[in-house]
Chain A
Amino acid sequence: AQSVSQHNHHVILSEAASLELGCNYSYGGTVNLFWYVQYPGQHLQLLLKYFSGDPLVKGIKGFEAEFIKSKFSFNLRKPSVQWSDTAEYFCAPHTDKLIFGTGTRLQVFP
Chain B
Amino acid sequence: KAGVTQTPRYLIKTRGQQVTLSCSPISGHRSVSWYQQTPGQGLQFLFEYFSETQRNKGNFPGRFSGRQFSNSRSEMNVSTLELGDSALYLCASSLLYSPVRDTGELFFGEGSRLTVL
Q: A residues near B, CB below 8 A?
A: 30, 32, 34, 42-46, 49, 51, 90, 94, 96-103
In the complex, are the beta carbons of B103 and A32 less than 8 A apart? yes
B75 CB–A CB distance under 8 Å? no
Judge whether B45 and A43 touch: CB under 8 Å. Answer: no
Q: Complex: how many Å from CA A81 to CA B97? A: 35
A32→B101 contact, CB < 8 A: yes
Task: List the count of A-B residue pairs having beta carbons below 8 Å apart.
Answer: 53
A96 to B43, CA, bound (A): 16
Question: Closest CB of chain A to B102's CB: distance in Å?
Answer: 5
Task: Establish whether residues A99 and B103, one from each chain, have CB atoms under 8 Å apart when the complex forms.
Answer: no
- A98 close to B106 (CB less than 8 A): yes
- Main secondary structure on chain A at its contact with chain B? loop
A94 and B98 within 8 A (CB): yes
Chain B interface, number of residues (Cβ within 8 angstroms): 26
Interface-located stretch among B17-25, B34-42, B66-74: B34-42
Given contacts A43-B110, A44-B90, A102-B40, contact A97 B105 (CB under 8 A): no
Query: Complex: how many Å from CA A29 to CA B42?
Result: 24
- The CA of A49 and the CA of B90, in the complex, are separated in Å by 20
Chain B residues, Cβ within 8 Å of A43: 3-4, 90, 108-111
**Given A32-B102, A45-B108, are A100 and B56 also a contact pair (CB < 8 Å)?**
no
Residues of B within 8 A of A101 (CB): 42
- Of B35, B102, B108, the most chain A CB neighbours within 10 A belong to B108
- Please, which residues of chain B bring their CB within 8 A of the CB of A99? 45
Beyond A43-B111, A51-B101, A96-B99, whether A90 also contacts B43 by CB under 8 A is: yes
Query: Do B56 and A46 touch (CB < 8 A)?
Result: no
Q: Which residue, A34, A42, A99, A101, has most C-beta atoms of chain B within 10 A?
A: A99
Q: Is B112 an interface residue (CB 8 A)?
A: no
Contact between chains at A100 and B103 (CB < 8 Å):
no
Residues on the A chain within 8 Å of B33, using CB: 97-98
| Cβ-closest chain B residue relative to A30 | B101
Q: Are A100 and B110 in contact (CB-based, < 8 A)? A: no
